[in-house]
Amino acid sequence: MRAEQEKAFAPEFESDVLNEMSLVDEIITENIDDKIPLVMDLSRYILEGGRKRIRPLLVLLTARAMGYSGQIHQKLAAVLEMIHTATLLHDDVVDNSKMRRGKASANIVWGNEASVLVGDYLYSRAFQLMVDIRNHRILEIMADTTNTLAVGEVMQLVNKNNCSVTEELYFRTIDNKTGKLFETAAALGGVSADCTLIQEKILKKFGRHLGLCFQLVDDALDYSSSQNQLGKNIGDDLTEGKPTLPLMYAMWNGKENERFLIKNAIEEGKAKYFDEIIQAVKTSGGIQYTLKQAKKQMLEAQKCLNELPESIYRNDLEFLLKFALSRKH
């Protein structure tokens, strides 16, 4: 089933990387404790709801692009997917989310306590897998990554219901969250292939810009997509009081009455005038501006990609980059 989902997502991949994703699935399944039904059931529930899984794909593709022919990168892809899943479980509790990946979020089905504890379990299990690899550089990267992710989570919490968030602060927040995990995914692939420090730096920069592009598009889609396409409630960022770029742009550039409605919506975390605010985001140019910033990140990522050796794996990374900008879900 998971392989079918991935093929539906990436029909233009030239390499056999999608076949490797099934091996990543096996590693994840083998390393989730089946002696505790709650852990197994909740983990499967959110992992099997995966739709794009760009982060583990990024690990696999960058490793192959750098000439790696072993299997360590598959375990690293599993590690990254487990950590990403743990952050989603924690995020949904903090945000009190109702939907995730097209179905009820785990915290709605099992409760906040179970979601937090299983998220903790996935985090710790991922680090156990990393230790098994016995690569100090990988441990350094992941220790730095998890700390940065935690900082990003705190920043997002502090920014909540804050209509004074600047564009610079917004970018720092998404850089610490999405940008960092994409950066790490690309770096892990390179490190598994024993790339040079210069190559690692290029891969990190590529991953970071790809991640920022992905998050900017995600924030734009929250105001322009549909629930069926997006897999979560439209306007969740608004109802959660998150000052994302499309919304802030509308508040900075909209009409006076629109600015007033948006300011109140952010501060109160309510969508009393939901339709009016969505329309204000669209008419103010907030979506177009956000997508323009996403394209800038995509172009920076492309520059990094051009420095990698030519291969079908580099071609697939380019496809991933184009998908990040053009996706509708």
What pLDDT, in 10s, does the model give residues 317-326?
999 999 999 9
328 assigned to some structural domain: no
At 40 the pLDDT is: 86
329 assigned to some structural domain: no
Domain count, the chain: 1
Tokens 């109140």 correspond to what residue?
Answer: 264
Domain extent for 113:
2-323
At 2 the pLDDT is: 45
Q: With b meaning 16 or more CB within 10 Å and e meaning fewer, what string describes 66-86?
A: bebeeebbbbbbbbbbbbbbb
13 assigned to some structural domain: yes
Along the 329 residues of the chain, how does pLDDT read in single tens digits?
Answer: 344 444 445 457 888 888 899 899 899 989 987 788 888 888 888 877 656 789 999 999 999 999 999 999 999 999 999 999 999 899 888 877 777 766 788 888 888 899 999 999 999 999 999 999 999 999 999 999 999 999 999 999 999 999 999 999 999 999 999 999 999 999 999 999 999 999 999 999 999 999 999 999 999 998 886 554 555 556 678 888 889 999 999 999 999 999 999 998 888 877 678 889 999 999 999 999 999 999 999 999 999 999 999 999 999 999 999 999 998 87
| CA atoms of 237 and 174, how far apart (whole Å) | 14
Q: CATH number for the domain including 248?
A: 1.10.600.10
40 assigned to some structural domain: yes
| CA atoms of 7 and 159, how far apart (whole Å) | 37
The count of other CB atoms within 10 Å of the CB of residue 226 is 10
